[in-house]
Amino acid sequence: MVKPYFGQGWMRRIYKTMITAEMLIDLLEQKRAQSPRAKEAFHMKPSIEHGVQIFTEANHFRDGSNVEITVHRTPKDLPQNVPPNMLPHKHDFYEIAYVYQGEFINEFPDGNKLVATDGHLILMNPYAAHLPYTVHREDIVFNILLRKSYVEQILVNLLSGNKLFLNFFLDSIYGHHQENNYMIFANNLEIQDLLFSLILENCEQKLYYEQVVDSYFVALFAILSRLHQTEIEHNIQKYVQNRTLTDVISYIKLNYSDVTLDKVAEAFHYSTGYLSRWIKRKTGSSFSDLVSQYRLEVAKRYLQNSMLPIEKITEIIGYSDTSYFYKFFKKQLGISPQEYRKQTVENQYH
């Protein structure tokens, strides 16, 4: 039996209307059926490269749509508890999976498997190859797809003053979490309330629904940022206790956009002079060179994977002078940031 949604702030409305996941699924199907372009877009055959299906925005978004919501369920004509015989896929848009009920499995080319359960939210990295599926009849997973340009517009235009948030979300995709395929957030009632409200608003499409949906995404990303910051602070405490070179480097990477020698010295209880000499002796590079090289790596990821303006990338990685960044980038790589973006974007899927 499908459970009704009971969450903070929704108690009175749910008792009154008894909105269930099945009702939302019906609304989603009705919405898609009303759009001729939907059938065309969602049935475009993806290309296949190296055994991985390539899904693009053209495959999954209707004209004029920035948000698409689909549902993962085990088809009735397939046996339960059996992984589907499908190829993994990757895509050039953002994907948020909300496990409303049951289990949601993602397999990755490196052999790792992620099993998410009730209430989990998964933020999937663009271009991360994965095979998502459910195996039980009762499993219900809402899959929220977002155009990259839409997400970046929200982040840059609405939250440009919140550096912590920008660093969290953009770095989770392009920065020091780039080696991970996903970020997962455990059962959180506040997040569940937001997601359910967002899905319902997108389905009903009442007056000004687009502005309401935008505001829900802003709130969602900010809450994720807050949760992630707690994890970062916990990690920093572990680094301070161990005081190894790896921990110092990790601290620098976690705080690269505004890190200074004074801040690192204070965090690890070293004098700045001793810390500077110690880093030089251990790595062969100065503190400023380490920071600059890591900022360069992050900038390269932004240039390759996003359409953020170079001026915004400069700001995010911690430089106040765009002209200085241009000169530094060209000195290190021999080409300008624009040239680097142009050369790499066509090889995005390779």
Domain identity same for 226 and 261: no
Does 170 have pLDDT greater than 70? Answer: no
Res. 1 pLDDT band, cuts 50 70 90: very low
Where is pLDDT greater, at 175 or 31? 31
Please tell me the distance from the alpha carbon of residue 6 to that of residue 14, in angstroms, as a whole number: 7
pTM: 0.68
Domain identity same for 74 and 211: yes
Does 119 have pLDDT greater than 80? Answer: yes
Predicted confidence at residue 19, as pLDDT, reads 67
Domain identity same for 125 and 265: no
Domain identity same for 179 and 303: no
Res. 346 pLDDT band, cuts 50 70 90: low
φ, ψ of residue 162 to 5 degrees: the values are -105, 85
Contact 109, 77 (CB under 8 A): no
Please tell me the distance from the alpha carbon of residue 155 to that of residue 175, in angstroms, as a whole number: 15
Predicted confidence at residue 169, as pLDDT, reads 63
Contact partners, residue 89, CB within 8 Å, separation at least 6: 46, 52, 53, 54, 55, 129, 130, 131
The tally of domains found in the chain comes to 2
Q: Which of 232, 255, 290 is the last residue of a domain?
A: 232
Domain identity same for 326 and 192: no
- Flag whether 155 is in a domain: yes
Domain identity same for 117 and 181: yes
- Flag whether 2 is in a domain: no
Please state, for a pLDDT cut of 70, what percent of the chain lies above it.
Answer: 77
Domain identity same for 156 and 52: yes
262: domain range? Answer: 243-345
Where is pLDDT greater, at 295 or 243? 295
Predicted confidence at residue 21, as pLDDT, reads 74
- Flag whether 37 is in a domain: yes
Domain identity same for 23 and 149: yes
pLDDT in tens, 268-307: 888 999 999 999 988 899 999 999 999 999 899 888 878 8
Does 6 have pLDDT greater than 50? Answer: no
φ, ψ of residue 183 to 5 degrees: the values are -125, 140
pLDDT in tens, 69-96: 988 888 777 777 777 788 899 888 889 9
Please tell me the distance from the alpha carbon of residue 262 to that of residue 253, in angstroms, as a whole number: 15
Where is pLDDT greater, at 58 or 225? 58
Neighbouring C-alpha atoms within 13 Å toward the C-beta of 299: 31
Res. 5 pLDDT band, cuts 50 70 90: very low
Domain identity same for 81 and 160: yes
Domain identity same for 181 and 310: no
- Range name among 32-41, 284-293, 328-337 with the lowest pLDDT average: 32-41
Does 188 have pLDDT greater than 90? Answer: no
Predicted confidence at residue 146, as pLDDT, reads 92
Predicted confidence at residue 198, as pLDDT, reads 92
Residue by residue, DSSP assigns 112-163 as: -EEEEETT-EEEEPTT--BEEE--STT-EEEEEEE-HHHHHHIIIIIHTT-H
- Flag whether 6 is in a domain: no
Q: Which of 173, 201, 232 is the last residue of a domain?
A: 232
Q: How confident is the prediction for the chain on average, in pLDDT? A: 80
Please tell me the distance from the alpha carbon of residue 63 to that of residue 57, in angstroms, as a whole number: 10
Please tell me the distance from the alpha carbon of residue 47 to that of residue 145, in angstroms, as a whole number: 19
- Flag whether 3 is in a domain: no
- Flag whether 1 is in a domain: no
pLDDT in tens, 123-161: 887 778 899 999 888 999 999 999 988 887 777 665 555
- Flag whether 164 is in a domain: yes
Predicted confidence at residue 229, as pLDDT, reads 66
Where do runs of H (alpha helix) occur along the chain? 11-17, 21-33, 36-42, 57-60, 148-153, 159, 163-174, 189-204, 209-242, 245-254, 261-268, 272-283, 287-305, 310-316, 322-333, 337-345
Burial label, 173 (beta-carbon count in 10 A; 0-12, 13-18, 19+): buried
Where is pLDDT greater, at 292 or 39? 292
| Tokens coding 130 | 């994965």
Domain identity same for 22 and 65: yes
Residue owning tokens 């848009």: 93
- CATH code where residue 193 lies: 2.60.120.810
Q: Enumerate the β-bridge partners of residue 122.
A: 97, 184
Please tell me the distance from the alpha carbon of residue 98 to that of residue 309, in angstroms, as a whole number: 30
- Flag whether 350 is in a domain: no
Predicted confidence at residue 167, as pLDDT, reads 62
Mean pLDDT of 17-30: 74
Predicted confidence at residue 144, as pLDDT, reads 95
Q: Which of 232, 252, 282 is the last residue of a domain?
A: 232
Domain identity same for 193 and 288: no
Closest of 158, 165, 152 to residue 94, by C-alpha: 152
- CATH code where residue 316 lies: 1.10.10.60
Predicted confidence at residue 314, as pLDDT, reads 93
